[in-house]
């Protein structure tokens, strides 16, 4: 009789251990499935984030390079504009001298040497009767009709260069945000790897939950960013 009871007790203990082992295997399998899913999602998201960061870095370099090129063009146009304006002013001064000396033939020669844009302003300036009207502008360059195409082109190029530089700065900031998301994904991978080292259920689940939350935060961050 005692022998039968021992057999029954042993069978009950063996059955209990099997149930506990089966339950343990089920939660471990469930946690492993979650961890594999996290790793798969994070692997794809990390690759995408790194790809976008690289593309935004390339766009930043392109925009900065374009901005520098436009600045060089603007400087060249500004120099040409300044030289043309200096030439017109010098010619105008010699015209003043010839006009005051009554040498109209020489004065007409100087007028023909004006740039087309300066000539328009010069004709408009003459209509103000500058030699008898004290309120007349001091010279053609002060007339609203005066234009300097090279100077205007330089201003336009500088504005475009400024816009390109600002766009390059924005591209750099976007690339940096993608890098930050990549760091978050790396943290998720680290937590999952640490969690797999634990056999205590509470610690492993807690680490996986934290990893999952960080992954969601990083994914939401990527979704909110501009893409190329």
| pLDDT at site 203 | 76
Q: Tell which residue, 203, 210, 204, has the closest CA to residue 188.
A: 210
Dihedral pair phi/psi, residue 134, rounded to 5°: -65, -20
| pLDDT at site 7 | 44
Tokens of residue 55, six digits: 């593309």
| pTM to 2 decimal places | 0.72
Q: How far apart are CA 168 and CA 158, in angstroms?
A: 15
pLDDT tens, 76-124? 999 999 999 999 999 999 999 998 898 888 989 999 999 999 999 999 9
The answer to whether the CB of 218 falls within 8 A of the CB of 188 is yes
| pLDDT at site 61 | 94
| pLDDT at site 210 | 87
pLDDT tens, 132-183? 888 999 999 999 999 999 999 999 999 999 999 999 999 999 999 999 999 9
Q: Which residues contact 205 (CB under 8 A, 6 or more apart)?
A: 31
Share the mean pLDDT of the chain: 85
| pLDDT band with cut points at 50, 70 and 90 for residue 207 | confident
| pLDDT band with cut points at 50, 70 and 90 for residue 33 | confident
The answer to whether the CB of 71 falls within 8 A of the CB of 161 is yes
| pLDDT band with cut points at 50, 70 and 90 for residue 211 | confident
| pLDDT at site 27 | 65
């Amino acid at each position: 009789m005692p022998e039968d009871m021992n057999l029954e007790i042993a069978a009950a203990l063996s059955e209990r251990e099997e149930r506990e082992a089966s339950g343990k295997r089920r939660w471990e399998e469930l946690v492993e499935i979650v961890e594999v899913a996290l790793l798969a999602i994070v692997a794809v998201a990390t690759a995408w984030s790194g790809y976008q960061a690289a593309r935004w870095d390339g766009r930043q370099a392109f925009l900065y390079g374009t901005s520098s090129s436009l600045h060089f063009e603007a400087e060249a146009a500004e120099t040409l504009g300044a030289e043309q304006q200096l030439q017109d002013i010098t010619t105008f001064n010699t015209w003043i001298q010839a006009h005051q000396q009554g040498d109209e033939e020489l004065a007409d020669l100087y007028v023909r040497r004006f740039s087309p844009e300066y000539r328009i302003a010069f004709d408009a300036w003459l209509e103000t009767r500058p030699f008898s009207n004290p309120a007349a502008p001091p010279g053609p360059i002060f007339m609203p009709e005066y234009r300097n195409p090279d100077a205007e082109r330089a201003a336009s190029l500088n504005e475009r260069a400024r816009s390109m530089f600002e766009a390059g700065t924005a591209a750099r900031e976007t690339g940096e945000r993608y890098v930050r998301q990549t760091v978050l994904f790396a943290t998720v991978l680290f937590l999952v790897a640490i969690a797999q080292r634990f056999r205590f259920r509470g610690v492993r689940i807690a680490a996986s939950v934290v990893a999952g939350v960080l992954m969601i935060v990083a994914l939401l961050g990527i979704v909110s960013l501009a893409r190329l």
